[in-house]
Chains A and B, each alone.
Chain A
């Protein structure tokens, strides 16, 4: 038997053993140096865990805000748009010397991570941001399913979570205190489309009663859309839902489903789909020779990418209801300011609703921090709960009503794709920039 000391002695006699030990020692020293370099300075204070963190005791690094976005994966394109909105908001805050907290300007920093469009990653990264990166507040990711998973982590850690990417009411019906949403519910989206349809029906342009072929994605988003349409149809008695089917996200073949729609010979075709499904389904819809008096894919319709993929002619007269439109800049000063700032930063490019919601989400959080006058989580949560500020959203005001689980209920704008490639606002009347067309004139050809 060899004692540890003896082993060392024996080992030293062999050059290769000595060399291995030396390598290990060097590796250990390098590791220690790396850990020391990564370690935060000892004088940097960490935020309280839901307790009181007065501004005076705030860290010199400023206000730390964490967020994840789907920068890769299925939702990466839209994740990139939200990133642009966040970046513009943070740049504006930085340019004005930071945000005003308790009378003193504090820099505001964003730690943005890629959640790869997956629920598990979105949830685990939120946990990392809170417990490892020690951020003070969280901004939300995009897409209902990701927000649904991530908001649980925020609630468990008692950290204000402001998101502009989750619209399903399921997120806000759980009685969470720390979750705030800027996207109005999808039910309201469906109702907005139906209100426009109803106005056209009242004007005698659409049959009464009108039959509806309703397709919805099998997600909370789709279920809310279905609920909005069917409740409106039941309430007004002017409609009959003849097809009511759901489909899986990222479907490849909708021909059987569209066959059902064709057989039903409905007047209106109303679907709720994300962009890839909208493109695939509309391509198969056009190929199958389908045409309805009104066609809508919920929030999808006016995207440039869809027109490029399908051809302008094949997306004509599609109705969409969105949370925001750059056309609102004509009537809403906050929207005007945002559009101008966005165009200045991004080489004259016109923003879509994604960037606007990203920007407004960050601005809402900054405003709450300023109003609270501290980075105390509880105080900021209180200010968010009672917030009432001018906003770029339709309606011009941002609130998080308690009765709706702290989800804003700003109205939607309804747009219609016109043959000239534009998508003007056709409803509500106070925001409309053009008159909608019904029934779809292409069906008569």
Chain B
């Protein structure tokens, strides 16, 4: 029973990390219908931004969340305005967007190699190894904080999309961009805003990841894959679905250790992805339009 409780806690906390990594990717796909391959690059950039602020200025990673999100939001808007905006819309832009954003990711990664070398970096805080005692289990304070941020982002995104004019406009654009133009919604501005928001969420995920494990410029690649699995499982475009899918993936990965060798648990998510694509191509929660 104790073992079961330990695994359950581990899975829930892991789900927090997975969902923060996937929100941005899901949001951008839901509205712009493009797979942002630079998501991995921005995860890495967020990690370095947090590390730099902590290393050079002594700013706590959780305090850095807001400035890092703000700057990366600006970077996202810039990337949209300079590059993504020029892509053809709809299915025609699919391959081009993959190539373009993959190119941007390579540039970001190589810039990081030039600036920070390939050495592994770690973000060490005073609470990095502190734990809270819950029953017989000790739970990492850092992991609880990451989970808290994941829940906060989920609530904030939900409120943004359902209670604000901008959020409603985002959902409307995701449903039918042409009709939005007819009723006076600034579609281009909404696209830019969504791309900026998705980029900011990726950077936040990177910063949170950096507080948990070492990273280098190649950081972000496996996180992108994991995000992709979560987004597809949850149903492309569904924010709540993304959170639930993250929990399912984490539960499956963590509990798999009871039946298969530990080194195979990472592959379980991909097996799950293939199964879902075959049985329910729209994802576990179907293709929804944000919310």
Beyond A73-B218, A253-B14, A280-B214, is A287–B122 a contact (Cβ under 8 Å)? no
**B262 contacts A257, C-beta separation under 8 Å:** yes
Q: How far is the CA of A280 from the CA of B121 in the complex (A)?
A: 12
Q: Mark A259-302, 1 if CB is under 8 A from B, else 0.
A: 11011000000000001100110011011110000000000000
Task: Report the minimum CB–CB distance from B176 to chain A (whole Å).
Answer: 39
- In the complex, whether B247 has a CB less than 8 A from a CB of chain A is no
Of A71, A259, A287, which contacts B118 at CB under 8 A? A71
Of A246, A247, A248, A287, which contacts B131 at CB under 8 A? A287
Of A76, A276, A310, which contacts B129 at CB under 8 A? A310
Chain B positions within 8 Å of A247 at CB level: 262-263
Q: How far is the CA of A310 from the CA of B17 in the complex (A)?
A: 21
**B6 contacts A73, C-beta separation under 8 Å:** no
**A77 contacts B124, C-beta separation under 8 Å:** no
- In the complex, whether A245 has a CB less than 8 A from a CB of chain B is yes
Q: How far is the CA of A259 from the CA of B218 in the complex (A)?
A: 29
Beyond A76-B118, A77-B119, A246-B261, is A276–B3 a contact (Cβ under 8 Å)? no
Q: How far is the CA of A286 from the CA of B122 in the complex (A)?
A: 16
Q: Please, which residue of chain B has its CB at the minimum distance from the CB of A280?
A: B213
**B138 contacts A287, C-beta separation under 8 Å:** yes
Beyond A71-B118, A284-B140, is A311–B263 a contact (Cβ under 8 Å)? no
Of B2, B7, B128, which contacts A283 at CB under 8 A? B128
Most buried by B among A70, A257, A284, A287: A287
Q: Please, which residue of chain A has its CB at the minimum distance from the CB of B123?
A: A309
Chain B positions within 8 Å of A262 at CB level: 6
Chain A 184-213 residues near chain B, CB threshold 8 A: none
Q: How far is the CA of A253 from the CA of B214 in the complex (A)?
A: 12
Chain A positions within 8 Å of B218 at CB level: 73-74
Q: How far is the CA of A12 from the CA of B142 in the complex (A)?
A: 74
Band of interface residues on B: 35 or more
State the total of A-B contacts with C-beta under 8 angstroms.
112
Task: Report the minimum CB–CB distance from B19 to chain A (whole Å).
Answer: 14
- In the complex, whether B113 has a CB less than 8 A from a CB of chain A is yes
Of B7, B124, B213, which contacts A256 at CB under 8 A? B7
- In the complex, whether A94 has a CB less than 8 A from a CB of chain B is no
Task: Report the minimum CB–CB distance from A108 to chain B (whole Å).
Answer: 28
- In the complex, whether A305 has a CB less than 8 A from a CB of chain B is yes
- In the complex, whether B117 has a CB less than 8 A from a CB of chain A is yes
Chain A 205-256 residues near chain B, CB threshold 8 A: 218, 245-248, 250-253, 255-256
**A257 contacts B257, C-beta separation under 8 Å:** yes
Q: Mark A64-83, 1 if CB is under 8 A from B, else 0.
A: 00000011111011011000
Q: Mark A369-392, 1 if CB is under 8 A from B, else 0.
A: 000000000000000000000000
**A218 contacts B263, C-beta separation under 8 Å:** yes
Q: How far is the CA of A305 from the CA of B214 in the complex (A)?
A: 11
Q: Mark B172-186, 1 if CB is under 8 A from A, else 0.
A: 000000000000000
**B216 contacts A309, C-beta separation under 8 Å:** no
Q: How far is the CA of A253 from the CA of B213 in the complex (A)?
A: 9
**A311 contacts B216, C-beta separation under 8 Å:** no
Q: How far is the CA of A117 from the CA of B120 in the complex (A)?
A: 13
Chain B positions within 8 Å of A80 at CB level: 117, 119
Beyond A259-B7, A287-B131, is A77–B214 a contact (Cβ under 8 Å)? no
Of A245, A259, A311, which contacts B124 at CB under 8 A? A311
Chain B positions within 8 Å of A260 at CB level: 257, 262
**B120 contacts A246, C-beta separation under 8 Å:** no
Q: Mark B2-46, 1 if CB is under 8 A from A, else 0.
A: 110011001001100100000000000000000000000000000
Chain A positions within 8 Å of B14 at CB level: 253, 255
- In the complex, whether B266 has a CB less than 8 A from a CB of chain A is yes
Chain B 99-130 residues near chain A, CB threshold 8 A: 113, 117-120, 122, 124, 128-130
Chain B positions within 8 Å of A9 at CB level: none
- In the complex, whether B273 has a CB less than 8 A from a CB of chain A is no
**B213 contacts A276, C-beta separation under 8 Å:** yes
Q: How far is the CA of A308 from the CA of B218 in the complex (A)?
A: 21
- In the complex, whether B265 has a CB less than 8 A from a CB of chain A is yes
Q: Mark A50-61, 1 if CB is under 8 A from B, else 0.
A: 000000000000
Nearest 6 CB-CB pairs, A to B? A76-B118, A309-B122, A255-B10, A218-B263, A72-B118, A289-B138
- 23 residue pairs bridging A and B, Cβ less than 8 Å apart: A70-B118, A71-B118, A74-B120, A74-B218, A76-B119, A77-B120, A80-B117, A117-B118, A248-B263, A252-B209, A255-B10, A257-B257, A259-B6, A279-B122, A283-B128, A283-B212, A287-B129, A287-B131, A305-B120, A309-B122, A309-B214, A311-B124, A311-B129
Given contacts A252-B17, A256-B254, A286-B129, 16 further A-B contacts (CB under 8 A): A76-B117, A80-B119, A248-B266, A255-B10, A255-B254, A256-B265, A257-B262, A259-B6, A262-B6, A263-B6, A276-B120, A276-B213, A279-B213, A308-B122, A309-B122, A310-B129
